[in-house]
Amino acid sequence: MAGLSLSLLLVVGLVAWAALDDDPYVARPPREPTARVQPAQAAEALHALEQAVDDRDESSARALAPTGDDRAAALLGAVVRNAGALRVRDFTLRYVDEEGALDQDGAWSAAVDATWAFAHFDDAPARAEVLVRFVAEDDRVALASLGGGDRRSPIWLDGPVRVRRTDRTLVLVEGSAAEADGYARRASAAVPVVRRVLPGWTPRLVVEVPRSAAGLDRALDAEPGEYANIAAVTTTADGSLAPDAPVHVFVNPDVFGGLRPQGAQVVMSHETVHVATDAARSSMPLWLLEGFADYVALRDVDLPITTTAGQIIKQVRHDGPPHRLPGAAEFDTSTSHLGAAYEAAWLACRVLAADGGEAALVRFYEAVNHGRLVGAALRSSFGLTRREFTRQWRERLSDLAA
């Protein structure tokens, strides 16, 4: 008997208990969870946050946080402060559906359709699906977090931002006051650079700067590391191609912060060209889209061409001139020769400007941007065929590499 296992003893004990007890044994059903997903009350909490943002009522927003959750209260208060500084309008939040199961503590995540716009700068609101974390309490549903997960996370909903505003520029930065001032100076300096070539543009430039490259991925709903090699990108605030979606510049501070002052200004001016020409929605060839932006940004920069075209010159010396203008493969953000692709595109636009003048280059760019075929626009603006233009460009590259 001494060798019997504990499990066997337990079984014997249960059998003996059943034999001696007159009442049959009935297993207890599992306890029903007291908490449950409550979409209606969650929608009420979202409406209350809408109202707090509209009223710029920070205390009401903080009160929507779970009891004792100081971090959530601080986030909700920051959202209201951000909204005031950014002059947010058209802010709506609509509960869509829960994502995943209810936690034991009564919390769940749900997809929420959000809209928002920055007054004076955005003609229409951005529209995106964001992830919101809810917590069911005794008599209400509280808001624990906004954004994150596998959804777009707008920077102004992510935490405190510093805002710098002029009539022409709006800059929001998840960083220090000095960083915000620096980005604001570069945005302001980019406006006249672009207007010297595109005087018809009415400047309304929005620049968003997250805390890190990972924050940029969340803001753009991008795969981790997708923009690791990019200093900045111009795109719609909600990722859509809707004709009225706001177009903003998004900065990767991990790369941008490592640039020299002149290089940082060139990047900001380059992205501002994209804003001015609505390039985020353009289907034009990438060599023209990116090359023209660099042409404008570098137009008045006093640097030797061995610096501004150093990577493509080195590549041509090693492999000879490319047989075609750079396309999607060359502009892939993961490629190791991305800088050379930008330089090659810039030189293509320089060749056209040298051939027919800057005004002709602008007309060519605008024609293609409005849907005209590249070959037809080349003939109209420069009297060149695509083959003739490509030959001139390759010759220019070879001359530089000689």
> In the chain, what are the domain boundaries?
39-152, 161-281, 282-402
Q: Decide if domain 161-281 falls under CATH 3.30.2010.30.
A: yes
- The identity of residue 72, as a single letter, is A
Q: Rounded to 5 degrees, what are φ and ψ at 100? A: 85, -175
Q: Contact at 8 Å (CB) between 179 and 207? A: no
The pLDDT tens digits of the residues spanning 62-107 come to 999 999 999 999 999 999 999 999 999 999 999 999 987 888 888 9
The pLDDT tens digits of the residues spanning 318-354 come to 999 999 999 999 998 878 889 999 999 999 999 999 9
Residue 36 has pLDDT above 80, yes or no: no
* DSSP tag of 146: E
Q: What angle do CA 45, 214, 113 make, to 5 degrees?
A: 30
Number of helices (H) and strands (E) in the chain: give both, helices first.
Answer: 15, 9
Q: Decide if domain 39-152 falls under CATH 3.30.1330.10.
A: no
Structure tokens at 142: 């509280």
What is the structure's pLDDT at 35? 59
Q: How confident is the model at residue 149 (pLDDT cuts 50, 70, 90)?
A: confident
Q: How confident is the model at residue 3 (pLDDT cuts 50, 70, 90)?
A: very low
Q: Which pTM was predicted?
A: 0.88
* DSSP tag of 212: S
